[in-house]
Amino acid sequence: MTVQLNNSERLVINQLLDTGLFTSKPYKPTNEVTNAIKSMKKPQFQKRISIYLRDLIGMAPENVQENILLLFGNEYENSENIHVLLATLKAVINLPELQANQKDRSVLTQTIVRQVHSEVIDLDEKEIRRIINQLFVDRFKLFTLDYPELTQSNQSQEVAEYWNVNPNFNQVAQAIVNQLLVHQELDLNDEQKLNRLLLNSRFISRESNFTLWNYLMDHKDSISQSWKNLNRFDLEIGDNYALLLDTKRQQVKSKPSVVAIAVAKAIHTGVSENNLNDLIKEQTRIIFPKNSIALSAVKEVLMDFGLIKIKNEFIFPTPLIQRFSIEKNNRGNDDE
């Protein structure tokens, strides 16, 4: 990796990796963000970011009128998510109430959900709303929750939820369409494949990723340095695993993931493969007593996170389990 990044470049890249979007009109920007926005106007600044990301993961971000977008992550390989994503773009752009460039950009949430449902008929409205929230509220932050001011007469009535649509929505929509087209043409080398896998799963093992593991062993110094350049990641390489450690690590909140971590911790010195289902059920009852969680989902996390290894029909925890802990105040919270 030849590009040495400055603080503003690191800030933009890290935000792209976290949310996928760095916009020139953020909500309540910090001084550091304001400085990065000023730097973003310089072509050389944008070029350096593009070179770094192309070398790292095989794709450069899309820039439409100073809105930098990077569609990276497993959610963009899911056909249902992409369908909802594109249908939401179409629904919002065609909304009559947003055509006149007025200051009030609040739209009834149900209006958008129903319009998207008319295009995505295979999903129910609850699932469509969940995906829109995941992409447009939590990730891109193009929608923010907005509630009408209540008067005395409607205090006791059910309050309708609105989304306030970011004024940059159309520009970001164009960037999304452009970037999706790029996805179809990606031709990745081994280093880019390795880095994408590390960024998506944070873990690889010798057994499950033999070809990329050999590449890592041959180039581990240069690959480790490319991650250190962001002042955020450390690549830990053990005898049989590699783990991308993130100083801004996010809490694991999905129920199967929480249960999988508890199961791996409960295995201790080992457990028979035949007893794994009972152990999963036991930990599920302890942590989420009101929920039914698929055994297959928990097993998938155990393998994807590299929390266990199987030998001679016996299951052992890996050293990685020491990297995880479960907060007590999350136990039994079936709504989390």
- Tokens in use for 324? 């995880």
Angle at alpha carbon of residue 244, lines to 50 and 81, rounded to 5°: 65
pLDDT at 336 over 50: no
Residue 331 confidence class, pLDDT cut points 50, 70, 90:
very low
199: number of CA atoms within 13 Å, CB side? 22
* 0.85 exceeded by pTM: no
To the nearest whole number, what is the mean pLDDT of the chain?
85
Express as a percent the part of the chain with pLDDT over 70: 90
Residue 14's SS3 state is: helix
More reliable by pLDDT, 57 or 2: 57
Strand ranges in the chain using DSSP code E only, listed in sequence order: 21-23, 62-63, 67-69, 106-108, 143-146, 162-165, 203-205, 233-237, 241-246, 271-272, 308-311, 314-317
Helices (H), 67-209: 79-93, 109-119, 125-132, 169-183, 190-201
Distances (CA, A) of 229 to 5, 182, 210, 222, 224: 7, 25, 26, 11, 9
For range 65-82, the mean pLDDT: 86
Residues 138, 130 contacting (CB under 8 angstroms):
no
Which residue reads 């873990």 in tokens? 203
Residue 157 confidence class, pLDDT cut points 50, 70, 90:
low
pLDDT at 249 over 90: no
Confidence (pLDDT) at 2: 59
Confidence (pLDDT) at 181: 85
For range 152-162, the mean pLDDT: 63
- Tokens in use for 201? 């799963």
